[in-house]
């Protein structure tokens, strides 16, 4: 199944705009495809290099990049018509008076599924875990529990800021007796990490694994768990709109960067459905793009939870430099990234 996917020909759509229009154009492109975009924006190249890498030597090829333009890349899977996405993007850019150039090219899935792997290495998470991709042979565990994993894409590695934060939150609150639900589990990284850390606990990961996320699948999750020898994690198809579990079934529930992709649904209602299956005294950690346009007034929602008896309810802005800088959030199209945390 994975080999068939990697041989499929996707369509890469490259949208070139003036750098000043990157954010608006990126938001429009993100509406055209639900599974992420890639932005080339070199307008702040020198400043970002100094801030992030603390060096002033920059590759000559990078310095030659046009800093007045940004290129937004979206990828259309083989089951969809790229002309529809191009028409959607062009129509909305024209409405915003944003000039653009759009080009299309064939792209084998294996090209972008595999090429990023050279940048992902063994990585410590929290105090006790070390995530190691299966292709990384040279690493130092330094006494940590090793989580070997074959990710589908970067969001499935545990290295993405949002995934990493959820891993650290769960490590702090989950114990050996916990039952944990991971909603929108993707590659199973979060579920398996919890299971390995808490061998007496029970971890369940659910996802609908739609065709737009073809690199993630139920077999991939099961394969990752089998490689780890993890027997206390299970995976099943499910839908966050209506969870197929009784009230108060879990000691902890988590979801990472999922609900904003569910079109046409009240996001606060989705949160309440998630909290329905959480036991009294259980912990929740929900990370998503909680902008007012998507989620409404979240401060009012937090107060509503407190009035219902929830404790330690917090909204944490994860783009303030603690997990990613505002510029990184802009580049990754993660503005509004927020963690909702608390105890039922």
What's the number of CA atoms in the CB half-sphere (13 Å) around residue 183?
30
8 A C-beta contact, residue 286 and residue 339: yes
Q: Please tell me whether residue 45 adopts helix, strand or coil conformation.
A: helix
Instruction: Compute the average pLDDT of residues 47-75.
Output: 60
Instruction: Compute the average pLDDT of residues 297-307.
Output: 97
Name 297's Cβ contacts closer than 8 Å, sequence gap at least 6: none
Per-residue confidence band for 2, with pLDDT thresholds at 50, 70 and 90 = very low
- Measure the CA–CA gap between 149 and 139, rounded to whole angstroms: 14
To the nearest whole number, what is the mean pLDDT of the chain? 77
Task: Give, in order, the Cα–Cα distances in Å from 58 to each of 47, 52, 61, 64, 324.
Answer: 11, 12, 9, 10, 22
β-pairing, 69-76 vs 101-108, is unpaired
pLDDT of residue 127: 62
Q: What's the N-to-C CA distance of the chain in angstroms?
A: 41
Please check the confidence at residue 230 and state whether its pLDDT lies above 90.
no
- How far is C-alpha 327 from the geometric centre of its chain's CA atoms? 17
114-122 contact pairs (CB < 8 A, 24+) = 114/6, 116/153, 116/154, 120/151, 120/154, 120/157, 120/159
Question: E strands, the chain, where?
Answer: 9-18, 38-41, 69-76, 101-108, 123-125, 129-133, 145-149, 179-183, 202-207, 233-237, 250-256, 278-289, 311-317, 337-343
Torsion of CA 105, 109, 111, 112, to 10 degrees: 90
8 A C-beta contact, residue 141 and residue 164: no
* DSSP bridge partners of 250: 278
Q: Which of 6-10, 26-30, 310-314, 324-328 has the highest mean pLDDT?
A: 310-314
pLDDT of residue 171: 62
Q: Which of 185, 192, 186, 190 is nearest to 214 (CA)?
A: 186
H or E segment to which residue 63 belongs: helix 60-63
Please check the confidence at residue 282 and state whether its pLDDT lies above 60.
yes
Q: Which of 30-44, 149-163, 181-195 has the highest mean pLDDT?
A: 181-195
């Amino acid at each position: 199944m994975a080999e068939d996917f990697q041989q499929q020909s996707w369509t890469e759509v490259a949208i070139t705009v003036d750098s000043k229009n990157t954010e608006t154009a990126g938001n429009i492109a993100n509406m055209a495809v639900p599974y992420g975009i890639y932005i080339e924006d070199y307008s702040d190249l020198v400043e970002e290099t100094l801030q992030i890498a603390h060096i002033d030597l920059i590759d000559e090829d990078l310095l030659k990049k046009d800093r007045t333009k940004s290129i937004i890349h979206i990828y259309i899977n083989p089951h969809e018509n790229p002309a529809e996405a191009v028409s959607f993007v062009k129509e909305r850019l024209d409405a915003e008076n944003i000039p653009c150039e759009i080009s299309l090219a064939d792209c084998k899935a294996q090209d972008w599924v595999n090429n990023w792997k050279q940048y992902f290495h063994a990585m410590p998470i929290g105090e006790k875990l070390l995530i190691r991709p299966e292709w990384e042979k040279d690493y130092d565990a330094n006494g940590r529990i090793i989580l070997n994993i074959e990710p589908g894409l970067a969001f499935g590695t545990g290295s993405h800021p949002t995934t990493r934060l959820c891993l650290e939150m769960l490590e702090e609150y989950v114990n050996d007796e916990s039952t944990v639900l991971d909603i929108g589990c993707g590659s199973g990284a979060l579920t398996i990490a919890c299971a390995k850390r808490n061998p007496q606990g029970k971890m369940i990961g659910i996802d609908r694994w739609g065709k737009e996320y073809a690199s993630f699948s139920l077999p991939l999750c099961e394969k990752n768990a089998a490689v780890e020898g993890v027997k206390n994690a299970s995976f099943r198809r499910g839908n966050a709109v209506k969870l197929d579990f009784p009230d108060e079934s879990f000691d902890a529930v988590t979801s990472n960067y999922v609900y904003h992709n569910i079109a046409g649904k009240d996001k606060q209602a989705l949160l309440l459905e998630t909290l329905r299956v959480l036991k009294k005294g259980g912990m929740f950690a929900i990370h998503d793009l909680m902008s007012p346009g998507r989620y409404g007034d979240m401060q009012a929602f937090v107060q509503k939870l407190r009035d219902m008896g929830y404790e330690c309810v917090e909204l944490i802005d994860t783009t303030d430099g603690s997990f990613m800088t505002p510029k990184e959030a802009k580049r990754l199209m993660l503005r509004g990234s927020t963690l909702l945390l608390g105890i039922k």
